[in-house]
Amino acid sequence: MFFWDPTYILIFPAMLFALWAQSRVQTVFNTYSRVRARSGVSGAEVARRILDANGLDSVRIEQIPGRLQDHYDPRAKVLRLSAEVYNGDSLAALGVAAHEAGHAIQHACGYAPLAVRTSLVPVVTFGSNLAFPLFMIGFIFAGTGLEWLMTLGIWLFVGAVAFSVVTLPVEYDASSRALAFLGRGGYMTQEELRHAGQVLNAAGLTYVAATAVAVTQLLRLLILRGSRRD
């Protein structure tokens, strides 16, 4: 069966890693959401100050619903922070807010990996919806002249893999900028920076895990295509 073939063993370790990474970020974020920063400023305030200090007073900051949904929208030039981060003055809130401000600064200075990731968004949006259905059709109807659909599905999925890979330097660079800003601005002590770094590193691991899942899934598709052609 296509859905229950032995090649699934390839992605099980990556999927387990992804589950652990998600659990880890929740645990670390919860822990340091209960530890207030000595500076007493909120996530929204620290993000605003970082943006203004870098000449980005035109970038708006909005509060959004949800948890751990914080992100920077480069098209609208808007920093969107969850209520817990926007209003919070915890080590976790300041770390996440500064991280997202780091993405806005990346965008403003033309950070190449971010530009590549942004350009891949339409490809990923289109390709991720079609890659597996096309591959499945080609796999099921191999021998009828539709084998080329497997190759097309793989190429579409390659775009998703590329997006995951290029996301890694984008996220880790934003975290590095965040910790530097928080330290230079006096928003955190060295001990607080260490704890905020744990939050950002835990978040970074979720992207590493996503990349591992994508790469192993691509390897699985390649193996399946090879076996179907034999």
- pLDDT confidence of residue 230: 53
CB burial readout 167-199, b (16+ within 10 A) else e = bbbbbbbbbebbbebbeeeebbeeebbebbbbb
Domain ranges of the chain: 6-229
d(CA 204, CA 99): 11
For the beta carbon of residue 30, count every other beta carbon within 10 angstroms. 11
- pLDDT confidence of residue 140: 87
Nearest to 29 by CA among 168, 223, 204, 212: 204
Q: What is the pLDDT along the chain (230 residues), one digit of tens a residue?
A: 345 567 778 889 999 999 999 999 999 999 999 999 999 999 999 999 999 999 999 999 999 998 889 999 998 999 999 999 999 999 999 999 999 999 999 999 999 999 999 888 888 888 878 898 999 899 888 878 888 999 999 999 999 999 999 999 999 999 999 999 999 999 999 999 999 999 999 999 999 999 999 999 999 999 988 877 65
User: What phi-psi label fits residue 71: left (phi over 0), alpha (psi between -120 and 50 degrees) or beta?
Assistant: beta
Specify the pTM: 0.88
Residues classed as catalytic: 100
- pLDDT confidence of residue 2: 45
> What DSSP assignment string belongs to the chain?
--TT-GGGGGTHHHHHHHHHHHHHHHHHHHHHHSSB-TT---HHHHHHHHHHHTT-TTSEEEEESSSS--EEETTTTEEEEEHHHHS--BHHHHHHHHHHHHHHHHHHTT-HHHHHHHHHHHHHHHHHHHHHHHHHHHHHTTTTT-THHHHHHHHHHHHHHHHHHHHHHHHHHHHHHHHHHHHHTTSS-HHHHHHHHHHHHHHHHHHHHHHHHHHHHHHHHHHHHHHHH-
